Amino acid sequence: MPRITNIEYMPISGDWGAQIGWLSARLPAAFTDMILNGVPVFRQRPAAITFGMPLAPGELPGSRYSCITFDTDRHRQRFLAALEEALRAAHPELFAPELGK
């Protein structure tokens, strides 16, 4: 999976429950100038950041995105891991709770 390096994060002010912000990222390896725009970012517990809307019972993992689906759960997990790695590099302060800070 190619690294995602161009990432933008916009935090949410106020109480939005578990949602802490929005993420946008360029995906140049997929198509030139393709942008993943406005993905919700959630903190499920101190050490768990997740992306996309929460799954409703019976939904497929790829259905968390309106126009992105994955042929296997393994591919979805690799993609989400790349997003987390890019967000962790760009905004390490979001991951401070997992370090007990």
φ, ψ of residue 65 to 5 degrees: the values are: -120, 140
Q: What is the rounded average pLDDT of the residues 34-60? A: 72
Domain presence at residue 28: yes
Question: Which of 78, 91, 61, 97 shows the shortest CA–CA distance to 3?
Answer: 78
Domain presence at residue 69: yes
pLDDT of residue 63: 45
Domain presence at residue 1: no
More confident residue, 62 or 44: 44
Query: Looking at the 3D structure of the chain, how many domains does it have?
Result: 1
* Domain coverage including residue 32: 7-99
Domain presence at residue 84: yes
Domain presence at residue 20: yes
End-to-end CA distance of the chain: 31
Domain presence at residue 2: no
pLDDT of residue 44: 74
pTM above 0.75, yes or no: no
Query: Does residue 75 have a pLDDT over 60?
Result: yes
